[in-house]
Amino acid sequence: MKKKVGIYICQCGPNIADNVDIDKIIESVSAFNDADDLEIVAKPYGLLCSGEGKDYLKQEIEENGLTHLVIGACSPRDHNNTFIGVCKETSLNPYLYKLINIREHCAWIIHDKDKATEKAIQYIRGGLRRVLYQSELFENKLDTNPDVLVIGGGIAGIEAALSLADADRQVFLIEKTDRLGGKAATFKTVLPKQQDAVEAIQLKIQTVQDHPHIQVMLNTRLDRIIGFLGNFEAEVRSIDDAEKMTELKIGAMVVASGFSLYDASTHPDFIFSGDDEVYTALQIEQMIAEKNQVTTRSGKAPKSVAMIHCVGREEVGYCSQICCNAMIKLAARFKTQSPDTTVKVFFRDLCLPHQDDQAFYNEIKAQGVEFVRVNRIATEGSQIKFTTMDENEGSELFDMVVLAPAMIPADGTPDLATKLGISLHETGFFQEAHQAINPVATATDGIFIVGTAHGPRGIQATLLQAQAAASKIRVQLIPGEQIVPEVRVSETLEAFCMGCKTCLEVCHYGAIVFDEDKGISVVKEAVCRGCGNCVGSCPSGAIQLKHFTNPQLYQEMIEAVQ
Amino acid sequence: MSFSNQVLVIGAGIAGMEASLMLAKSGKKVFLVEKLSLIGGNVIKNEESFPNLECSTCMVAPIQQAVLQDPNIETMTLSTVEKIDGDVGHFEVSVLKKARYASMTDCIGCGMCYEPCPVSLSNEWEENLGEKKAIYVPTAGSLPNVPAIEAEHCLQLSGKKECNACVEACMFGAIDLSETDEQMQLEVGAILLATGSDLFDVSQLTQFGYGKYPSVYTSIEFERLFASNGPTLGEIKIRNSDRQPKAVAMIHCVGREEQGYCSGVCCMVSLKHAHFLKHKLGDVKLFNLYTDFCVPDKTHQKFQKNIIEETQSIFHTSMKDIKVTEADSVLNVAYIDAKGKEASLNVDMVILAPAIIPGKDTEVLSRIAGIETTEIGFLGLKSGGLSTVETAREGVFLAGCAEGPKDVQSSVTQAESAVGGMLARLSSLTS
């Protein structure tokens, strides 16, 4: 078939025209005759991104019956979308167009006009060669399911479920234990302002249970998932009855599987048994919630309490962010219970990163809680040995010792990650898509991570993440609206694939599966993000990325390296 | 009639941009009001952001572009909100849109107009470490890449002298000196306040010598000094000199006691700066004077360890009475150490990490928006319960550092959460 390529060079006012000889470019590309059945239309234009420029391009495409389009202009960052938009309003498939940046790459940076022109010619001729090898791609629209599976019935899962159900999404909430509320439901008061939490959290639990759009499934775990954003299928199984499997169709998932605590008894510096007066902060919280007072094992109120921060922090390799605050809250509780109680807090760094935290700390300090900054600390039962920052050593016996062990990923986190096909951070918590600008998403579209499954955090931050994930789902999956998956994705060339499975290992998105019958890798197009990792790793050249195939890149390079 | 299909976002920093994009995607018409001539907020002042040490402008530029190109977002730069009447679903908002004098549609950002401008001004966006003309973009890579004119300094506009230099230099006829400020009325259903924060004014604390000694910097000044698009194009040279520092002291928590809280991010910023210095200068001695190391994220402690290893920084904690003095271009940092003894360091640069404080317009905004501020002066959430983004005025939401000191992750999260709050509130009006 005869190809007719339109090449339009934008003068960009004086920006390109003054520093690049556009007539020479036109002359050079018009003489291009390295392909058969090729006709070239090459023209300069004043300002292609202007309204008149866009209309001009549309007219040129239609009147000349162009089969391909090359534009020499500015950075794709500025106007690639502009010209894709132009193509979309014509009969030209936008994947048969190429924008070449001769402004930032030539006109603006090379002061010698001849050299700038020479480089611009190479670039444009490269674009011309490339575009001849480009293929039409068609964006598919897919129907989506707006419903959501929430994994974990703690405060994070509850909040996500409520936010979504209130937006009329059907929510399936699975919880592996026999009750909702997680660890937060056992707290009497919550940070940062010591609000009474019991009522607020119980209200949320009740609302979840009564909500017409939420189906709560207790004693249930996830078995497997398949699919992609908008079209997942999940199998969940009853923990009590292995025969009881339910298949759910959903569009997205929120992982809110919570945390565990570092086992302080495994730490060589903290030697204690179940008989000693040594407790974790969480045990004290539960004691307060159960009987509204803190007593020793013999039932007496402690007269002296040591509180030890950062237990296991060095071992796990991160700060758990909320323990300082939680310990200060408990120190306050001891003082309320009996103002005469001696409370000593042993810490290395105080981490109080929210605006209300330090005021609370100052208040507790004023109530007579003593804060001791230590370099080293060890316990043997409730006998404490420590070294202060000025290298003084101390040893004291207390009625009660409260430890703040690091928060660690919940049991079963690696297994859940495998089932979901999402990555873990080196600390063992789930890995977010981007630490700063996409914090609750994962590398897999449609799977979100919130709360302490994401990393150590308090209730306020947990609620925010749960709400954030719900918002993202709300915006990404609008009932009745279709989604358009990326079309520049990988594809396997069956004849070349040797079945080595290297590509499965390098894919971050779980987008490649192995077809056992054929013995080859197959790309799930709707999951693939087009990163190209698999292309680079394939030893037999059996995977190519659409719109970035080797022949396309090679053609462009021929001119560039001349 | 309700205006539930339209929303207002005030502040085009990372939180405001993220919220705007999501609201636009959900089908809302978004008015994004920004007081400066560029969008992007404080994040783009950073050369690299922690903990990944990735180029901040590269991280944020696609978001800025997406905002500017989104047909559902009307970005209003050089604009301030002056009045908010009505209530949820029916807010009537008065916005003063100052004249830019350059056309957003005709200007292509070539920059030909700056050079002929005869007026040089101190560049506030660059923390006054560099200059700009009366027609300017604050920094290379500003988005929108369209200059603005400071009318009070422009010779022609201020009536000081006839001048037409920029108009003549523009090949696109994009500069129009007859443009005037516009008073606009917006009708919106819900409002997000994402106006960001400022830094504690360290010149109040004279013991640190800021403002007196040229080699004492704030962390944000140092950030611009290091930035490859900054006033020195990334060369670390001490103010008013050609010297590169050989020993640098980083003092944490400046203003923490005065403000009464820890800002939660400054330790990471100081560590990042230690990395910048080591990376760029190689042979440099680094000291960190801090009280508590606050590195509260799963990634942060590892970052701390890596930087300490890389930079061989020396850390001093539990000091009291820090005092900076200068003699013969050498800074002396004196303090009482953890054992109560007098000690001191000699360095040739000091970088102070000031506390994050409420933005200077916060109080005015709180009155316009009809909401309370916290005791500290940040915009206040609705009290009681477990509110995360809602204020006491229905339909008005908060995100980012306007609500309290935060890192990028927390700002983005709160913005995303606020979007859900806004959508939920608006849909309850229509259903």
ipTM of the complex, rounded to two decimals = 0.95
Q: Do A195 and B300 touch (CB under 8 A)?
A: no
The pLDDT, as a whole number, for residue A188 is 65
| Closest in A12, A436, A474 to B420, CB measured | A474
User: Could you tell me if A170 and A291 lie in one domain?
Assistant: no
Evaluate whether residue A484 is within a structural domain. no
Buried b (16+ CB within 10 A) or exposed e, A159-176: bbbbbbbbbebbbbbbbb
Q: Give the count of domains, chain A.
A: 4
Pair of tokens at residue B229: 């698009």
For the cut 60, the answer to whether the pLDDT of residue A193 exceeds it is no
Evaluate whether residue A555 is within a structural domain. no
Evaluate whether residue B125 is within a structural domain. no
Evaluate whether residue A387 is within a structural domain. yes
CATH value at residue B46: 3.50.50.60
* Spacing of C-alpha A523 from chain mean position: 22
Count of C-beta atoms within a 10 Å radius of residue A36 = 7
Which chain A residues touch B26 with a CB distance below 8 Å? Answer: 474-475, 478
User: Could you tell me if A308 and A180 lie in one domain?
Assistant: no
Evaluate whether residue A183 is within a structural domain. yes
Evaluate whether residue A560 is within a structural domain. no
Burial of A100 from C-beta contacts in 10 A (0-12 / 13-18 / 19+): buried
User: Could you tell me if A197 and A159 lie in one domain?
Assistant: yes
**Those residues with Cβ within 8 angstroms of residue A543's Cβ, 6 or more apart along the chain or in another chain:** A490, A491, A492, A493, A497, A503, A521, A523, A534, A535
Question: pLDDT exceeding 70 applies to what percent of chain A?
Answer: 98
User: Could you tell me if B232 and B366 lie in one domain?
Assistant: no
User: Could you tell me if B394 and B344 lie in one domain?
Assistant: no
Q: Which of A58, A68, A63, A118 is nearest to A95 (CA)?
A: A68
Domain end point (choices A83, A105, A137): A137
For the cut 70, the answer to whether the pLDDT of residue A426 exceeds it is yes
The pLDDT, as a whole number, for residue A77 is 83
Q: Do A467 and B420 touch (CB under 8 A)?
A: yes
| Closest in A197, A318, A475 to B301, CB measured | A318
Residues B317, B311: contact at Cβ < 8 Å? no
pLDDT in tens, A81-95: 999 999 999 999 999
- pLDDT band, residue A302 (cuts 50/70/90): very high
- The minimum CA-CA distance between B424 and chain A, rounded to whole Å, is 7
User: Could you tell me if A110 and A156 lie in one domain?
Assistant: no
CA distance B159 to A170: 65
The pLDDT, as a whole number, for residue B318 is 72
The residue whose two tokens read 């978001």 is B63
User: Could you tell me if B90 and B228 lie in one domain?
Assistant: no
* More confident of the two residues A292 and A491: A491
User: Could you tell me if A383 and A414 lie in one domain?
Assistant: no
Which chain B residues touch A313 with a CB distance below 8 Å? Answer: 301
Q: Do B261 and A456 touch (CB under 8 A)?
A: no
The pLDDT, as a whole number, for residue A190 is 64
Best residue in A205, A391, A467 to probe B by mutation, most B CBs within 10 Å? Answer: A467
- pLDDT band, residue A192 (cuts 50/70/90): low
Domain end point (choices B300, B330, B355): B355
CA distance A165 to A147: 9
The pLDDT, as a whole number, for residue A194 is 58
Which chain A residues touch B427 with a CB distance below 8 Å? Answer: 167
The pLDDT, as a whole number, for residue B243 is 92
CATH value at residue A33: 3.40.50
Best residue in B46, B200, B417, B419 to probe A by mutation, most A CBs within 10 Å? Answer: B417
- The minimum CA-CA distance between A239 and chain B, rounded to whole Å, is 31
Residues 314-353 of A with CB under 8 A from B: 317-319, 321, 349-353
User: Could you tell me if B189 and B263 lie in one domain?
Assistant: no
- The minimum CA-CA distance between B379 and chain A, rounded to whole Å, is 12
Q: Do A468 and B404 touch (CB under 8 A)?
A: no
Helix, strand, coil % (nearest 5) of chain B? 25, 25, 45
| Closest in B108, B318, B418 to A373, CB measured | B318
- The minimum CA-CA distance between A300 and chain B, rounded to whole Å, is 34
The pLDDT, as a whole number, for residue A377 is 95
User: Could you tell me if B218 and B333 lie in one domain?
Assistant: yes
- The minimum CA-CA distance between B117 and chain A, rounded to whole Å, is 19
User: Could you tell me if B216 and B306 lie in one domain?
Assistant: yes
**Those residues with Cβ within 8 angstroms of residue A288's Cβ, 6 or more apart along the chain or in another chain:** A188, A294, A333
User: Could you tell me if A158 and A252 lie in one domain?
Assistant: yes
For the cut 70, the answer to whether the pLDDT of residue A189 exceeds it is no
Beta strands in B258-403 (DSSP E): 285-290, 314-317, 320-327, 330-336, 342-347, 349-354, 356-358, 396-398
The pLDDT, as a whole number, for residue A191 is 57
Strand partners, B285: B247
Sheet holding B182-188, edge to edge: B79-85, B91-97, B182-188
The pLDDT, as a whole number, for residue A196 is 65
Residues 437-476 of A with CB under 8 A from B: 437-440, 455-456, 459-461, 463-465, 467-472, 474-476
| Closest in B108, B292, B302 to A12, CB measured | B108
Q: Does residue A79 belong to the interface with chain B, where contact is any CB pair within 8 Å? A: no
Domain that holds residue A126: 3-137
User: Could you tell me if B244 and B393 lie in one domain?
Assistant: no
Which chain A residues touch B407 with a CB distance below 8 Å? Answer: 436
Q: Does residue A355 belong to the interface with chain B, where contact is any CB pair within 8 Å? A: yes
User: Could you tell me if A161 and A216 lie in one domain?
Assistant: yes
User: Could you tell me if A266 and A316 lie in one domain?
Assistant: yes
- For residue A406, give the chain B residue with the closest CA: B298
Pair of tokens at residue A441: 């998403």
CA distance B116 to B130: 18
User: Could you tell me if B331 and B249 lie in one domain?
Assistant: yes
Evaluate whether residue B232 is within a structural domain. yes
Radius of gyration of chain A (CA): 32
**Those residues with Cβ within 8 angstroms of residue A530's Cβ, 6 or more apart along the chain or in another chain:** A486, A488, A489, A490, A545, A546, A548
Residues A124, A106: contact at Cβ < 8 Å? no
User: Could you tell me if A252 and A297 lie in one domain?
Assistant: no
Residues B7, B191: contact at Cβ < 8 Å? yes
* Angle of CA points B100, B101, B105, to nearest 5°: 85
Domain end point (choices B330, B355, B380): B355
Residues B23, B419: contact at Cβ < 8 Å? yes
- pLDDT band, residue A202 (cuts 50/70/90): confident
Pair of tokens at residue A150: 């929430």
Q: Do β-strands B91-97 and B285-290 pair in parallel, antiparallel, or remain unpaired? A: unpaired
For the cut 80, the answer to whether the pLDDT of residue A124 exceeds it is yes
User: Could you tell me if A201 and A304 lie in one domain?
Assistant: no
User: Could you tell me if B326 and B396 lie in one domain?
Assistant: no
Domain that holds residue B405: 6-98+181-196+359-430
- The minimum CA-CA distance between B416 and chain A, rounded to whole Å, is 5
| Closest in B110, B295, B417 to A464, CB measured | B417
Residues A272, A279: contact at Cβ < 8 Å? no
Which chain B residues touch A167 with a CB distance below 8 Å? Answer: 420, 423-424, 427
- pLDDT band, residue A198 (cuts 50/70/90): confident
The number of CA neighbours under 13 Å toward the Cβ of A530 is 11
* Angle of CA points B317, B323, B329, to nearest 5°: 115
CA distance B44 to B61: 8
For the cut 90, the answer to whether the pLDDT of residue A429 exceeds it is yes
User: Could you tell me if B21 and B36 lie in one domain?
Assistant: yes
Q: Give the count of domains, chain B.
A: 2
The pLDDT, as a whole number, for residue A185 is 75
Question: pLDDT exceeding 90 applies to what percent of chain A?
Answer: 82
Give chain A's mean pLDDT: 93
Q: Does residue A372 belong to the interface with chain B, where contact is any CB pair within 8 Å? A: no
Which chain B residues touch A390 with a CB distance below 8 Å? Answer: 338-340
Evaluate whether residue A281 is within a structural domain. yes
Q: What CA–CA distances, in Å, run from B14 to A265, B18, B24, B268? A: 43, 6, 15, 19
User: Could you tell me if B313 and B423 lie in one domain?
Assistant: no
Evaluate whether residue A551 is within a structural domain. no
- pLDDT band, residue A64 (cuts 50/70/90): very high
Q: Do A77 and B318 touch (CB under 8 A)?
A: no
Residues B195, B19: contact at Cβ < 8 Å? no
The pLDDT, as a whole number, for residue A15 is 87
Give the pLDDT mean for A124-138: 96
User: Could you tell me if A271 and A398 lie in one domain?
Assistant: yes
User: Could you tell me if A214 and A162 lie in one domain?
Assistant: yes
Domain end point (choices B322, B355, B388): B355
The pLDDT, as a whole number, for residue A95 is 97
Give the pLDDT mean for A281-301: 91
Strand partners, A172: A149, A215
What residue ranges of chain B have pLDDT lower than 50? none
User: Could you tell me if B348 and B208 lie in one domain?
Assistant: yes
Q: Do B412 and A437 touch (CB under 8 A)?
A: yes
Burial of A63 from C-beta contacts in 10 A (0-12 / 13-18 / 19+): exposed
